[in-house]
Structure 1
């Protein structure tokens, strides 16, 4: 019998680690990517769209529809993208930009597409959100029943220990749009799974693994090696930072942790289940994820926060993502 595939929409601010996560989904034989929705974050949304198109072209999956979404946060002007992955999200190494890229993007807005696809396939589609959560917050504002039509939601974002990578106490994806993160974790009552900053960093892989991953004899690996080549975030020497002090040294492909949990139920080996809330008011903690272990928030909905993973299994999914048949 044919394997029943998991259907997924990927909501992304496509930087280098997003590209790795998307390739992981494309390589998984049990996954059908029904659409990719773009949001600002690692780069302006126009660059995000182009990055997604390039990944799909490399992997010969150009039939997957790509939708342009929010270019700014739910409230206010928001923060400018960082140069963590270069100004374009792909390490600023791309020279041959596609002048016709806009023709390849669907005319339908990402939020409208998200609502339509999920409504047409209720309880069948998972949503893996690996960027700021603006598109998701807009979706629930346009259709309050949207979350209950989802099968489940996987998020890469948030931090719970006060160690941030965007500000003193906040993780990048939540910091870029704290109000949207708040809305999503208050109003999405579907099964929700979070790969936090701590989870990603505490389950890092060795830099020797990174070298082996990038040096595989496959076009996809050559592509990833190119876009990481000039990016300080993928430099073993440059990454001797506070992250190493708190979490230990290693290679971390942040968004791939959320994607791997969606693909393989056995990747996550330990998790916490409890209500959560996103802090909006704190001058130092805005965007931080608060865990309610004592039910003081009196919320009926709990989420699952990952804490430990099967690193060998995760590493194999990464390896497979760059072995898939691709074109140069």
Structure 2
């Protein structure tokens, strides 16, 4: 898991840690929702809470391949968790390798044994591709929480495609790279996985440490999204993405085709190069390998499963 925690990333990490069918081989950090050192600290906080402090970790990129980092402090708070959670009790098992180097080492040493989940800006994967242009083929699959799906009907709007826009150069390299399989779960899908007031109230009434953590850090997220919806609710972007990668039966619609990274001068998006009727958009399409792009997922099944895991914690 390559991640930039971030509130929704932290909850996605807890979700993975709580599933009986998942083993975390490593967690690598990257800038994005916060600076890379805070992201690494937040990984330590979550792994400590989950009892997984021995999981290998690595420090990753502090900014994009080109340009400067634009951190999401207004969304996630200055430290990525709203300044609401204490320091971890135990230090990380920190690799001497960078995130990109660790991704390459694991892929080469244990080829096609692991799934690679990319939940932040794609800089570490871009750097890994510079070290080994075939690195994505050395993983069983790659899941990217990023992209905006196919083009929508005229008049439709989308939230920012932050993981792509933060490093469009790296994103373009990732979507163009050889791979065994790649799943894109974009903001057009993840924005629909809403954790509402009832979900937050249930967390706050639960006695589990995981629920307490999640209810605490969601305060920051809910405060931010009040300005979007007028309610103290928030989307579980990264959690929904990892859930759909683990539970393909929850994918209600998927389209397959080339994904190109496009910029309008304000921001970048990764788009499946297709219009709603299946025809081609008014762009010259860059030839790249096909990506499986989720269009719709079972939000209710995921939210219920997330609550189950947060109330229970780890069962192993």
2:271 maps to 1:290: yes
2:250 maps to 1:267: yes
Q: Aligned in 2, Cα 1:105/1:298: closer, same or farther, shift over 3 Å?
A: closer
Corresponding position of 2:114: 125
2:24 maps to 1:33: yes
| Aligned partner (choices 70, 73, 77) of residue 68 of structure 2 | 77
Structure 1 residue 184: deviation in Å? 0.6
Q: Whole-Å Cα distance in 1 between the matches of residues 79 and 103 of structure 2?
A: 25
Corresponding position of 1:6: none
Corresponding position of 1:158: 147
Corresponding position of 1:4: none
TM-score after normalising by structure 2? 0.87
Corresponding position of 2:48: 57
Q: Aligned in 2, Cα 1:240/1:79: closer, same or farther, shift over 3 Å?
A: closer
Corresponding position of 2:101: 112
Q: Secondary structure at the match of 1:323?
A: helix
Structure 1 residue 182: deviation in Å? 1.0
The answer to whether the 8 Å contact 1:14/1:89 transfers is yes
Corresponding position of 1:306: 294
Indicate the RMSD between aligned Cα atoms, in angstroms: 2.4
| Aligned partner (choices 221, 225, 244) of residue 239 of structure 1 | 225
The number of aligned residues is 302
The answer to whether the 8 Å contact 1:178/1:278 transfers is yes
The answer to whether the 8 Å contact 2:226/2:233 transfers is no
Structure 1 unaligned blocks of 5 or more: 1-9
2:207 maps to 1:217: yes
Q: Whole-Å Cα distance in 2 between the matches of residues 40 and 140 of structure 1?
A: 18
Q: Whole-Å Cα distance in 2 between the matches of residues 155 and 227 of structure 1?
A: 24
The answer to whether the 8 Å contact 2:193/2:236 transfers is no
The answer to whether the 8 Å contact 1:216/1:322 transfers is no
Deviations 1:91-128 (A, max 9, x none): 1123x435984x64222211111111111221121111
2:182 maps to 1:192: yes
TM-score after normalising by structure 1? 0.84
2:132 maps to 1:143: yes
Q: Whole-Å Cα distance in 2 between the matches of residues 29 and 225 of structure 1?
A: 23
